[in-house]
Amino acid sequence: MSEATPRQFVAVLDFGAQYGQLIARRVRDLHVYSEIVPCDIPADELAAMGPSALILSGGPASVYADDAPTVDPAIFELGLPVLGFCYGHQTMAVALGGEVAHSEVGEYGPARIVRSGESALFAGTPDEQTVWMSHRDAVSRVPEGFVVTSSTDVCPVASMECAERRLFSTQFHPEVRHTEHGRRLLENFLFGVCGLEATWTMDNIIDEKVAEIRAQVGDRKVILGLSGGVDSSVVAALVHRAIGDQLTCVFVNHGMLRKGEPEMVEEVFRDQLQVPLVHVHAEERYARLLAGVTEPEEKRRRIGSEFWKVFFDEAQKIGGVEMLAQGTIYPDIIESGARKTGGKASTIKSHHNLIPFPEGVHFDLIEPLDHFFKDEVRELGVALGLPDRMVYRQPFPGPGLAIRIIGEVTPEKLEILKDADAVVREELDAYNERLFEETGERNSEHSCWQYFAVLPDIRSVGVMGDERTYARPVIVRAVESSDAMTADWAKLPYDVLGRISSRIVAEVPGVNRVVYDVTPKPPATIEWE
C-alpha cells in the first residue's frame, strides 16, 4: 500500500474473473476506495496492506480442479469482514470446512432467490428478488457456524453467512446490474457491516495520485505519448500537475487521426494548458509502414512497434528521460490478457501501450489510470479542469483509423473514413447534447457512449443521379455502455439514423450506402477491426 492509499479501503481478491474488476468499480461507485490483489496473497502480506474489508471475486474454475486458484485460509482469521461472490462463495465454504458439489442443473442468467431469516447483508431488500447467476458448482454443505440466508429452486445455498465473524457470501453476482438489489447489498456490507464512510471522491483521488507520482518520479524526466484521446489527455494533465515541466508530451501524428484532431491537440495542450509538447509529423513514415498490410493484429503490431521507435528517437533528443507515462486503463489490460492480470485472461486484442519495449529501450512506467474505467477517467478529467470537448470526446484506439479501415490502408480510404466519421460524430454529438439538456445526465439511458464510422473493404452497386455507381459502404457503430466491458447497440431514432445516412452519401465522395451495426458486446467488441 502506498503512502497515498486512503486510511480505509477494500481489497478485492481476484480469482481470474473476466469481469472481476467490476467489483472494485462498484465499490468505488459508492465512494469507498478499493484495490485488486492476487487471490493467493499470503495473509500476513494482506494484513500489512491494512485493508478495512475483503471481497472475494468470482472466477471460471472449479474449486476442486487441480489448478484451481486458492486462497490462504488464514485471511479468514484476520478479523476482517469478508464478502464472497460465486467462486469466492465456494472457496470460502471449502476453506472453512464446508463442501461444494457439481450440480445436475446449472444457473446462467436471472434467477429468483427467496430469503430465509434476518441478515444484515439483505437489510431493506424484499423476501424475493431477482439476481444474476452463472454457475454449475454449488455449495452443498455450509461450514460450521454458518447459516443459509437465501436459496433458489436449484441452488439450496444461494447465500450464507456467519454474522458473528462478519463472513458473508453469495452464489450470485451483486456487482452486476442485472441483480436488482445488488447495489443495496454492497451498501449494506460496506456501511452497515464494515462501518466504512463514503469519502473517496475525485478531489481526493487527484491529491493521492499527485502524491504518488511525485514520490515515484522525484527529480527525473518523464515522457508521455499523447494521442489526444481521453486517457492520455487525463494522464498528461495529472502528471503535469504533479511534476510540471519535468514532463514532455510527445504527440505522434501517424496520419490516421480523426478530422481536426491534430489541431485540437495543439490548441488544448500547448496553448491552453501550456504543457511541453513535441509534435512529430510521421504521416509518411506510417504510410510506408502499412502499405499492403491487411490483418488488423499486424497493423497494431507495426503501429505499436513504430510508436516506440519514434518515442526512442524523441527521448534521445530530449536527453536524460528515464520514465514513460501511459494512459493505460483497466479494460486495456483485461482485453490484452496483459501483465497485470498475470496473463491469465484471454487476449481479445493487443494495445500499443501494452506491447513490450523494443530491445535496448528502458523506461520506468507511470500508469496512474491502470485501475480506472473510462467514465471514471472522464470524471477525473473534469476535476482536473480539462475542457469538456476533450474529456467527452469519443474513445479512440491507439492505431487510429487504421483498424477501422478493413483491409489495406490507402490515402483514398483514409479520406473517405475521416469525412464519414466526422459526420457521425457531429450528428451524435448533437444527439447526446439534446439528451443531456433533457435529462441532466451525460450517460443517460439512451445516450450513445461510443460512436464512429467503419470502412469495409467491399463495394456495392448503387444509383446516384440516375446513374449506376459502384462505390463503398460505410458502417456506423454506436453503443450504450458505462464501462466498456459490456455494451449494447444504441437504439437511435430513425430520423437521426436517416440524417446520418443522407449526409454521408451526399457529402462523402466514393460512398453510396450506409449500414448500422446492431451487435452487442459480447459477442462482438465495441471496436471494429
Collapsing DSSP states into helix, strand and coil, what is residue 164? helix
What are the beta bridge partners of residue 462? Answer: 469
Q: Is 322 a catalytic residue?
A: no
Give the cell for residue 344.
491469465
Phi, psi of 385 (to 5 degrees): 90, 15
Are the beta carbons of 189 and 170 closer than 8 angstroms?
A: no
Which residue reads 513504430 in cell numbers? 306
Which of 378, 356, 374 has the alpha carbon at shortest distance from 365? 356
Three-state SS sequence of 85-123: ECHHHHHHHHHCCCEEEEEEEEEEEEEEEEECCCCCCCC
Which residue reads 518520479 in cell numbers? 217
Residue among 161, 175, 379, 427 flagged as catalytic: 175
Give me the DSSP letters along 311-357: HHHHHHHH--EEEEE----HHHHHHHT-GGGTT-S--S---GGGSPP
Give me the DSSP letters along 274-298: ---EEEEE-HHHHHHHHTT---HHH
Q: How far is CA 166 from CA 197, 375, 496, in A?
A: 18, 32, 53
Cα angle, residue 461 at apex, residues 460 and 463 outer, rounded to 5°: 135
Residue among 86, 155, 162, 194 flagged as catalytic: 86
Q: How far is CA 268 from CA 250, 283, 401, in A?
A: 14, 21, 22
What are the beta bridge partners of residue 516? Answer: 476
Q: Is 194 a catalytic residue?
A: no
Which of 155, 134, 57, 140 has the alpha carbon at shortest distance from 97? 140
Give the cell for residue 449.
457512449
Which of 128, 138, 94, 385 has the alpha carbon at shortest distance from 238? 385
Residue among 89, 135, 173, 181 flagged as catalytic: 173
CB atoms within 10 A of CB 441: 10
Which of 231, 215, 205, 210 has the alpha carbon at shortest distance from 9? 205
Collapsing DSSP states into helix, strand and coil, what is residue 227? coil
Which residues are within 8 A (CB) of 508 and not within 5 positions of it... i.e. 6 or more apart? 416, 419, 420, 423, 474
Q: Is 39 a catalytic residue?
A: no
Three-state SS sequence of 369-431: CCCCCHHHHHHHHHHCCCCHHHHCCCCCCCCHHHHCECCCCCHHHHHHHHHHHHHHHHHHHHH
Which residues are known catalytic residues? 86, 173, 175
